[in-house]
């Protein structure tokens, strides 16, 4: 690459990162509620956090194209998330307004999941309307703006949706328990041995490794220098408060974390246990996609406090959250 072009690209990247940092900082107070809204839509902590990240990314780009900032950032973020989720349903050929949604697997959960099981009976737009009205108390006009329709149509959606929710719920058999692939046992063994080379050898050449909400590496070489290196050796930055805000250190010690496989809703996931003055606690979860005996992708959920807290509760493991900020200044 031409040195001038490389320098310009670096400056552009730094400017974008600084702008993104300011954007995330301004909207940080809305993150818990945005997660809760996405959780109602998706019925999964993983999918909820992914929708939050997609909505923030889309919102950042959209804001850059707006002549004036949104007068109600909360309703605007809900609108961005709603549109993304409805588009996802459309692309996956799930039914839209007025039709029954594709069947979803039944999973016995805590009582709070019962509402999620019922709301899955609604079409995507009905679900958005009911959640925004009955859970977040938005006005008919605000919901109409989020859905790109009229208040009268929203009233009709609410009527249909509430009638569906009043119908008796069907009972379905429980899901079969998935087996844990051998490659994940190999991943844990390499991670716990602090063997970076053996760890990255488990990745496909085309694999992606995400630290959700911060950055993405492509291929084993990048992952070994950045994401995997940080996962193996980043505990020191957690302990001294340079990798998280000082209020989230919570007695963390600079010892390497420990990796373990657990099943969550029938899916094997990776738990990263960090040492603390009062014992171990999980500070990150990883979700993986496999291709044969190698990893095609890995998503590390470290700076995702709502998803971490919920997963810890479901798995009955102690959790320490890390906040949202992966850097403590725009630099």
CATH 1.20.140.160 is right for the domain spanning 3-166: yes
Burial degree of 228 (CB within 10 A; 0-12, 13-18, 19+)? buried
Q: Name every residue whose Cβ is closer than 8 Å to that of residue 208 and which is 6 or more positions away in sequence.
A: 216, 217, 218, 296, 297, 298
Phi, psi torsion values for 322, nearest 5 degrees: -120, 10
Residues of the chain with CATH 3.10.450.50: 182-315
pLDDT digits (tens, 9 = 90+) for 267-310: 999 999 999 999 999 999 999 999 989 999 999 999 999 999 99
CA distance 308 to 299: 13
Phi, psi torsion values for 25, nearest 5 degrees: -65, -45
What kind of fold does domain 182-315 have according to CATH?
Answer: Nuclear Transport Factor 2; Chain: A, (3.10.450)
pLDDT digits (tens, 9 = 90+) for 118-157: 667 788 888 889 999 888 888 999 888 888 788 888 898 8
Q: Return the pLDDT at 222.
A: 94
Q: Return the pLDDT at 108.
A: 39
pLDDT band with cut points at 50, 70 and 90 for residue 20: confident
Rounded average pLDDT over 202-206: 95
pLDDT: is 64 or 191 the higher one?
191
Residues of the chain with CATH 1.20.140.160: 3-166
Structure tokens at 114: 């019962």
Rounded average pLDDT over 210-238: 93
């Amino acid at each position: 690459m031409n040195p001038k072009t490389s320098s310009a690209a670096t400056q552009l990247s730094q400017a974008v990162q600084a702008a993104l940092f300011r954007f995330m900082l301004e909207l940080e107070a809305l993150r818990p509620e945005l997660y809760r809204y996405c959780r109602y839509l998706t019925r999964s902590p993983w999918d909820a956090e992914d929708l939050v990240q997609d909505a923030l990314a889309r919102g950042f780009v959209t804001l850059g194209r707006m002549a004036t900032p949104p007068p109600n950032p909360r309703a605007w973020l809900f609108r961005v998330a709603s549109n993304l989720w409805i588009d996802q349903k459309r692309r996956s050929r799930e039914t839209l307004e007025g039709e029954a949604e594709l069947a979803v697997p039944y999973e016995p959960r805590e009582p709070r999941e019962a509402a999620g099981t019922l709301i899955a009976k609604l079409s995507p737009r009905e679900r958005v309307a009911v959640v925004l009205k009955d859970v977040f108390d938005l006005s008919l006009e605000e919901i109409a703006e989020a859905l790109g329709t009229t208040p009268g149509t929203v009233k009709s959606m609410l009527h249909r949706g509430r009638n569906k929710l009043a119908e008796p719920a069907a009972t379905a058999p429980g899901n079969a328990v998935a087996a844990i692939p051998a490659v994940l046992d190999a991943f844990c063994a390499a991670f716990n041995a602090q063997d970076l080379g053996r760890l990255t050898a488990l990745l496909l050449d085309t694999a992606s490794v995400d630290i959700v909400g911060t950055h993405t590496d492509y291929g084993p070489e990048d992952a070994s220098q950045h994401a995997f290196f940080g996962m193996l050796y980043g505990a020191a930055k957690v302990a001294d408060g340079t990798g998280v805000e000082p209020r989230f250190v919570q007695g963390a010690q600079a010892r390497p974390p420990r990796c373990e496989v657990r099943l969550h809703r029938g899916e094997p996931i990776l738990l990263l246990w960090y040492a603390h003055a009062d014992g171990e606690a999980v500070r990150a979860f990883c979700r993986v996609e496999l291709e044969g005996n190698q990893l095609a992708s890995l998503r590390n959920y470290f700076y995702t406090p709502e998803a971490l807290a919920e997963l810890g509760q479901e798995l009955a493991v102690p959790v320490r959250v890390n906040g949202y900020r992966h850097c403590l200044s725009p630099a």
